[in-house]
Amino acid sequence: MVPIEQRAYRAAHRGRAESGPAKGGHSIRYLLNEDVGLRSWRRVPFAYYRRSERNARRVSKETFDLLLRCDGIREIPDEAPIAALVARGLCHPAGAGERLTDWQRYRSYDNEYFPALNWMLTGKCNLNCLHCFNAADNARLQSEFQPAEAMRLIDEAAACGIQAFTLTGGEPMFHRDFMRIFQRIYERDMFVEELNTNGTFITREMLREMRAMGAAPRFKISFDGAGCHDWLRNQRGAEQSALRAFEMCLEEGFEVMAQTNVHRLNADAMLPTARLLSGMGASGMRIIRTSEAPRWVQNAGGAGLSWSEYYDRMLAFLEAYVQTGCTMNVNIWQMAAVCPASRKYRPAAVGCDAREYRDSLPVCRCNRGLVAVAADGNLYPCLQVSGYYVKCGRFLGNVKADGLRTHLQQGAYLSEVQTTLKQLKEHSRQCADCPWFRLCCGGCRACAAALTGDRFGVDPSKCLFFQHGYLEKLADALKGYECVIRLPAVSDARA
C-alpha cells in the first residue's frame, strides 16, 4: 500500500505540469501554502503560523529548514520528507510565477513568544452594570487609547510577532475610532479573534464592513438570562438590544457566544436561556459566577452565590442541559467545558493533562500566551486581576509610556507571567503539601488574589472543588460523556 504522504504528494503534482521538474527529474520547486508563515522568537526558534489560528505551531529544526526552502525559487530533491509536508498542507509544488507573500516570508522577533493580545480599547461604557468596575458612572476609570496610541500599539504588536487580538472594554465599540482600529489590525496582517461587547452598537453595516475586509471575529455578547438581563445591566431594554445583536450577527454569518453572569436572582433562568440561545444558533454560552468586586458587593443585596452554591447550581444545570438535545457548547467558569455534539467535556478546574504536568509550567498558561493591556496602557497578567494590582500598587509596565516590545524582552511583566508552579509551591507550603496540587496546578491566580489578597496565595475555590468531591460529582452529572484529559493520580492523603 502506498503511504498516505506519498499519495498526497502525487495528488499535489497533478495538473502542475507547467512548472515541471528540474533537470534530471529529481528536484522541483516548492512553495509554502498561502496560509503558512514561518516565524522565530526567543526560545521558540522554529515555528509557523496558520493565518487564521492564534497559536504558532512548533516544528523541528530539520522541518523548519526544509520549509525555508519552499520559496518557489530553490529546488528541493523529490523525496519523502517534502512529501510529508505536502500531506500536512504546509506546501505544494510551485506553479509558474508563484512566489511568497510578504506575510509568509520568514520573520524573526527579538522578544519572547506571545501569540495574542487582550486589549481594553477603552474603559468607557454606555451601560451602568451593577457588577462592573467599568460602569458608565465610574468616571475615574474611564481612560482609553487615543488614535495615535492605538495605531502605535498595533504596529508594535506586529513587530513582536503577535497574531491575534481580543478587543474588550468597557464597551470597545464605544470608542469613536473603533472601526479604524479594527481595520488597522487587518492591514498589519493580524486578525481579531474575539470581540467582547454588550451588543448595543452592532449594526448590519458594521458587520458587512468587517466581512469585506475578510474579518470573522467571534462575538462574545453579554447576556445575563432571559427575563433577567435588564436588572444586572441597570438599563431598561438592554435585553432586547442584546438579542437583536445576536440575531444580526448570526444572520450575517458570524459566530456568536453569550457571556453570562450568574447569581441567585437569575440562576433558575440558565436552562431556559441556554435553550433559547441554542435554538437561535449561538455556538456557546460561558457562565461566570458574579464575583466579589467592590461594586458588586455594594449592589448585590445578597444576590451573590457562594462558591459551594455556584458549584451545586451549575451541576444541576449541566445535568439538565445535557438531556435537552441542545448542541450549543457550554463553558462553566472554573468548573467545566461541555460539548454536547461530541459528548465530551473538560473539567476546567483541572490545570493540565497528567501527561503534561511539570513543575516548570507557568502558573497560568493562558496568561503566558496572552498579553493583557488595560485602557490606561498598564500591563497585567490578565485584566480580571487588574484591580488587585492597582490596590497593591504593583506596577508591571505601561505600553503607552515604554512601548510593547521592551516588556516582552525583560522586566517585571515578563517575570510575572513566567512565574512557575515550582515558584508557587515554594511560596505556599499549603499548596506544596496538598495531594490535589497536580490536579489544580495552583488554581486561578485571579481568584486567589480576589479571595485572599495574595496573588501567590491558595485559591480557595479550587480547594473547595476538589476536597468536596466536585470532580466526581461532575463526572456523575455528565454520565455518558468522555473526559478529554487524563487526570493525574491523587494520593490517598486526600482523605
Q: With bands split at pLDDT 50, 70 and 90, how would you rate the model's confidence at 335?
A: very high
Whether 267 shows a pLDDT value over 60: the answer reads: yes
Inter-residue contact 290 to 305 (CB < 8 Å): yes
- In the three-class reduction of DSSP (H, G, I as helix; E, B as strand; rest coil), residue 432 is classed as helix
Residue recorded with cell 480580571: 384
What local confidence, expressed as pLDDT, does residue 226 receive? Answer: 95
**Contact between 123 and 170 (Cβ < 8 Å):** yes
318 and 330 Cβ atoms separated by less than 8 Å: yes
Q: What integer pLDDT is reported at residue 142 of this predicted model? A: 66
Torsion of CA 381, 386, 388, 391, to 10 degrees: 130
d(CA 372, CA 416): 12
Mean pLDDT of 225-231: 93
The closest alpha carbon to 284, from 333, 351, 223, 329, belongs to 329
Average pLDDT over residues 128-153: 76
- What pLDDT is attached to residue 450? 82
What was the pLDDT predicted at 309?
97
Is residue 137's pLDDT more than 60? no
pLDDT band at 494 (very low <50, low <70, confident <90, very high): very low
Residue 438: all three cell numbers together: 497536580
Structural domain boundaries in the chain: 4-109, 120-348, 371-480
Give me the pLDDT at residue 491, please.
52
Give 490's pLDDT tier (boundaries 50, 70, 90).
low
Q: How confident is the model at residue 66 (pLDDT cuts 50, 70, 90)?
A: very high
φ/ψ (deg, to 5) at 473? -65, -35
Distance CA 351, CA 365 (A): 9
DSSP 350: S
pLDDT recorded at residue 388: 84
**What's the start-to-end Cα distance of the chain, in Å?**
55
Confidence of residue 257 (pLDDT cuts 50, 70, 90): very high
CA 253 to each of CA 204, 218, 219, 242, 365: distance values in angstroms, whole numbers, following the listed order: 11, 10, 11, 17, 31
| H or E stretch covering 231 | helix 229-233
Q: Per mean pLDDT, which range of 1-15, 81-95, 278-292, 376-390 is the poorest?
A: 1-15
pLDDT value, residue 134: 54
Is pLDDT above 80 for 10?
A: no
Render pLDDT for 281-318 as a digit per residue (tens, 0 to 9): 999 999 999 877 767 777 778 889 999 999 999 999 99
Rounded to an integer, the average pLDDT of 19-42 is 80
347-351 long-range contacts (CB < 8 A, ≥24 apart) are 347/471, 347/474, 347/483, 347/485, 347/487, 349/439, 349/440, 349/443, 349/462, 349/465, 349/466, 349/470, 349/471, 350/439, 350/440, 350/441, 350/471, 350/485, 350/487, 351/439, 351/440, 351/441, 351/442, 351/443
Q: Residue 274: pLDDT above 80?
A: yes
**Cα separation, 452 vs 461, whole angstroms:** 11
Residues forming a β-bridge with 116: 164, 370
The three cell numbers of residue 399 are 505600553
Q: What is the pLDDT, as a whole number, of residue 3?
A: 45
Dig out the grid coordinates for 225 from the structure. Answer: 438570562
Alpha-carbon span 99 to 70, nearest angstrom: 9
List the CATH code of the domain at 120-348. Answer: 3.20.20.70
Element (H, E) at 465: helix 460-467
- Which pLDDT band, with edges at 50, 70 and 90, does 140 fall under? very low
Task: Give the count of beta carbons closer than 10 Å to the beta carbon of residue 301.
Answer: 10
Name the average pLDDT for the chain.
Answer: 90
| DSSP H or E segment with residue 295 | helix 294-299
The residues, ordered by sequence, that sit 6+ positions from 429 with a Cβ below 8 Å of its Cβ are: none
Contact criterion met (CB below 8 Å) for 50 and 67: no
Is the predicted pLDDT of residue 114 greater than 90, yes or no? yes
- Flag whether pLDDT at 15 surpasses 60: no
* Spatial separation of the C-alpha atoms in residues 360 and 342, rounded to whole Å: 33
